[in-house]
Each structure stands twice: as C-alpha cells, then as structure tokens.
A and B are shown apart, each in its own frame.
Chain A
Amino acid sequence: MQQIMLSAFLLAFCVWVDLVPLIKKKEKKALWFAIPSYLIYLILNILVGLNVKTAGLNQIIAQLVKSAMKLE
C-alpha cells in the first residue's frame, strides 16, 4: 500500500506540472505519448504495490537473447 500511495503522490505531482499544461496547450501529439505512459506507470506500481508476481522484464529478455543466440 505504501508503494501505491507514494507512486500516486509522484504521479499527482507530474500530472500537475506536466500533463495539465499539455492538456491546456492542446498538444495532442504529446498527449498521445504522455497519457499511456502515465497509465503504464500507475498500473505497474499498483501491481508492485499489491505484490503481484510478474516475470521480471530482464528474465524475459534474457530468455529471448539466449534462445536467439543459442547460449546456455
């Protein structure tokens, strides 16, 4: 829960200093990237905060590289 609260605090700060000005300026292209990024950040932190077990990104990449390069 601590993780979710603190990440929400950081997210709120970034929304205030970055997202709101982008919306006010109607920078549609920047918003196309910003809104999904904010959502990804929020979802990942909720998952980590709730101790949901996920395969680490490094592990997935390592398996891909090992199978592509036939490493042991």
Chain B
Amino acid sequence: MKNQKVPGKKITAIIALYLIGSSLVESSVSGAARQDSWFCVLLATGLALLLAWLYSSILRLHPGKGLFDIAVETLGAVLGKIVCAIFVLYAVYLAAQVIRVFEEFVHLVNLPQTPEIVLLIFTVPLVAWQVRSGLNNMANVSAFLLPLQLIFVAITIVLGIKFMDPENIRPILSAKPTQMLKATLGVLALPYGETILCTSFFGEVDQKESPFKIMAFGILIAGAVLVMARLRNLLILGSATVQMYLFPSYDAVGVISLGDFVTRISVLIGVNLVLAGIIKVSAYLYSATLGISRILEIRDFLSPAVSCCLLIAGISSILYSNILDGMKFITIMPYNSVLFQILLPAVILIAGKLKKKAAGGKKWPEKNR
C-alpha cells in the first residue's frame, strides 16, 4: 500500500485545508490583540515557517519516513513507541476537539433542533471511510476542495467590500506588545504548530520533493486565507463585535447581501468550513491511525481507522458541557501545545542528528533538502 507515492502538491493542499479548518475558532486565540489581530496572524504565519523548517529538518534526516517511523528509529523501540503514543493521544484529542466544535457550529447555526449525535452518525463513517481509502484519496479530495475554498473566500471578500469600514482596524498596531505576543504565539500554536502531525504523512510522499517546500506552501496558502478572513471580519464587524461572536467568520459574511436576491451567503461559508473541518479531522485520524499501527505493529496500517474514529467521537462528547466553556479552553491550548509542537520534535531532531553523527555522518543527496 505504501508503494503508491502521493505528489507533494496534494500534500500541500491537505496542509492548507487542515490549517484553514481552524479559522472557525482562530479568533479565540488571536482576539487579545483586538483590531491588530490580523497582524498577529500574519506574524504567526512567518514564524510558522520556522516550525516548518524544524519539522522538515527531522524529515530530511530520514528521507521516505514519517514521524512515527522516525521516532522509533531515533529513540529506540520503547521510548520511540512512548513518544508515538503521546502524539497519538494528541491527535485523538485534537480531533475530538474539532469534531465537537463543528458539531456545535452546525447545531447552533443550521440545525438547532437536531441532536448532536445525529451529526456524528454521518461524520464518523465519512471520516473513517475517507481515511481507510488512503492518503492518496484524501489528497485528491483536498486538491479538489482547496480551489473551491479559495474562490468562496474571495467571493465573500469582494461582495463584502461594500460593508467594510476601514476605521474598524484603526489605530493600526496600537495593541500592547504583550497582547500582540500572546495573540501571535496563540495563532502559532493553533493552528500552525499542529502541522507536526502532518509530518507522519511523509512516509508516503515522493522522496524527491522537499518537505520544507511542501509544508511552507501549505502554510502560506492557509496564512493568506486566515489573514484575509480575519481582515474581512474586522473590517465588517469591528473588533468589539468580533469578540462577541462565537463564530465571527460566519456572522461577518451573514451581513453581506447583494440587493434582495443574493442574501444569506454565510451558508456557503458554513459548508466551506465544515468541508475543511472534515479534512482536518481526517488528517488527525490518519495520523493517529498510523501511530497506532506503528505502536502495535499492525500490518494493514489503516485497519484501526474506524475504531479510532469511534474513540474520537466518544471523547468529543465528554470534552465540555457547553460551547462557551469549550471556547474558554481554546485560550489555554497554546500552553499545552509546547510539548507536542516544539519540545518533542526538538528531541527527535537532536537524537536523530546525534545518531547520524555516531553512524559516520552520511549526507543525503542535495535534491532531498
């Protein structure tokens, strides 16, 4: 199954959608900078390239291998599998978090009378089936959906120009440096740092392609969308109103209308965000499935997908009692992300470098860099 290599461009599409999928809740972490939050998203996009460099450094040391194979190879069977288990728990937890937020989103804005479990009945088989179909299938779906996402975001921006007030983002760069730093690091951790889980896909990516370029393009595409969406929300609603809404993207676009015949285009944004969310959950699930297969050494490496998806669905139901508590928690998430997004990858990189040095320091071909 692993012989079929996935083109780097399609992995870029997965990474971009994976990051865009967080735009629904992104304002919760960047909100501290108020009208300058768009600048914090921009700054975080630049810093995310450093994270991409860190992650691609790990991948360059072990061409043709994914995160879990690398962890076991560099840290040994026992410690490596413990690190794999930590990443699997992280992926499962994040997937549960995203499923719950999207469930709440659909429940609040579209289907308030429908029990949330009904949404899970449709989501779980879809996501599990997508993952069981393999990375190539997921990549094809992402490559198809990404241009649609970009077109829809562009349409909402163009149609929204009439409703934008430049005063809403003035004075520019007036937030306190500590607020700016907090918001920037928040966006760096959620969503950019989560790219670490995408490094597990690189065992199935063509070795000739540069991991850094693949990740960097994905981050830049997502960064452009997140900055534009953030600016659109601020310009239409203003920072004070953005803070009041749980899902500001949906509400900002809800204001837009063109005469009497083009109204309620926020439904399109809803569909868009749910599609990106499904790709995001699929990416988490795929990563978790690979990790579980590596730990238990399961030959059919996608066979735990359905059971893992059920586990995610179960956990999502006990995360919090209401969406307001959930949103409050999102501001804490950057703190617990340090371990998964910086410390563990740094340990794997250092261990890999030391091991390579001890083995004689062979250099990999230049085109893999």
Q: What residue of chain B has the Cβ atom nearest to residue A40's Cβ?
A: B314
Report the contact-size class of chain A (Cβ under 8 Å from the partner). Answer: 35 or more
Contacts of A37 in B (CB 8 A): 304, 307-308, 310-311, 314
CA distance in complex: A3, B326 (Å): 21
Report whether A38 and B310 are in contact in the complex, using a CB–CB cutoff of 8 Å.
yes
Report whether B292 and A14 are in contact in the complex, using a CB–CB cutoff of 8 Å.
no
What does the 1/0 interface line of B95-135 toward A look like (CB < 8 Å)?
A: 00100000000000000000101101100110010000000
Interface residue? B321 (CB, 8 A): yes
Contacts of B311 in A (CB 8 A): 37, 40-41
CA distance in complex: A34, B120 (Å): 19
- Min CB distance B45 to A, Å, is 25
CA distance in complex: A65, B336 (Å): 6
CA distance in complex: A41, B309 (Å): 10
Contacts of A17 in B (CB 8 A): 125, 306
Report whether A29 and B296 are in contact in the complex, using a CB–CB cutoff of 8 Å.
yes
Report whether A3 and B117 are in contact in the complex, using a CB–CB cutoff of 8 Å.
yes
CA distance in complex: A9, B3 (Å): 37
Q: What residue of chain A has the Cβ atom nearest to residue B315's Cβ?
A: A57
**Chain B: interface residue total (CB-CB under 8 A):** 36
- Min CB distance B124 to A, Å, is 6
Question: Contacts A59-B325, A62-B329 hold; do A44 and B317 have CB atoms under 8 A apart?
Answer: yes
Q: What residue of chain A has the Cβ atom nearest to residue B305's Cβ?
A: A18
CA distance in complex: A44, B342 (Å): 32
Contacts of B120 in A (CB 8 A): 7, 10
Q: Give the residues from 210 to 257 in chain B that come closer than 8 angstroms, CB to CB, to chain A.
A: none
Contacts of A13 in B (CB 8 A): 125
Q: Give the residues from 298 to 330 in chain B that come closer than 8 angstroms, CB to CB, to chain A.
A: 298, 300, 303-304, 306-308, 310-311, 313-315, 317-321, 325-326, 329
Contacts of A69 in B (CB 8 A): 335
Interface residue? A6 (CB, 8 A): yes
What does the 1/0 interface line of B155-197 toward A look like (CB < 8 Å)?
A: 0000000000000000000000000000000000000000000
CA distance in complex: A18, B315 (Å): 20
Q: State which of B93, B304, B315, B326 has its C-beta within 8 Å of the C-beta of A33.
A: B304
- Min CB distance B63 to A, Å, is 28
Contacts of A10 in B (CB 8 A): 117, 120-121, 124-125, 310, 313
- Min CB distance B126 to A, Å, is 12
CA distance in complex: A69, B321 (Å): 25
Q: What is the interface of chain A mostly: helix, strand, loop, or mixed?
A: helix
Contacts of B154 in A (CB 8 A): none
Q: State which of A30, A59, A65 has its C-beta within 8 Å of the C-beta of B296.
A: A30
Q: What residue of chain A has the Cβ atom nearest to residue B92's Cβ?
A: A37
- Min CB distance B182 to A, Å, is 12
Report whether B118 and A6 are in contact in the complex, using a CB–CB cutoff of 8 Å.
yes
Contacts of B314 in A (CB 8 A): 37, 40-41, 43-45
- Min CB distance B308 to A, Å, is 7
Contacts of B320 in A (CB 8 A): 56-59
Question: Contacts A30-B303, A37-B311 hold; do A58 and B297 have CB atoms under 8 A apart?
Answer: no
Q: What residue of chain B has the Cβ atom nearest to residue A3's Cβ?
A: B117
What 20 additional pairs, Cβ within 8 angstroms, besides A22-B303, A57-B315, A59-B325? A3-B115, A3-B117, A6-B118, A10-B117, A11-B310, A14-B124, A14-B307, A30-B304, A33-B296, A37-B307, A37-B310, A41-B310, A44-B317, A45-B117, A56-B318, A56-B320, A57-B93, A62-B332, A69-B335, A71-B335
Instruction: Give 10 closest A-B pairs by Cβ, nearest first.
Output: A41-B314, A18-B306, A34-B307, A37-B307, A44-B314, A56-B320, A37-B311, A58-B329, A41-B310, A6-B117
Q: Which residues of B contact A (CB under 8 A)?
A: 93, 97, 115, 117-118, 120-121, 124-125, 128, 292, 296-298, 300, 303-304, 306-308, 310-311, 313-315, 317-321, 325-326, 329, 332, 335-336
A-B contact pairs, 27 of them (CB 8 A): A2-B117, A3-B117, A7-B117, A11-B310, A13-B125, A14-B125, A14-B306, A22-B303, A29-B296, A33-B307, A38-B307, A40-B311, A41-B314, A44-B314, A45-B117, A54-B318, A56-B321, A57-B319, A58-B97, A58-B325, A58-B326, A59-B320, A61-B336, A65-B332, A65-B336, A69-B335, A71-B335
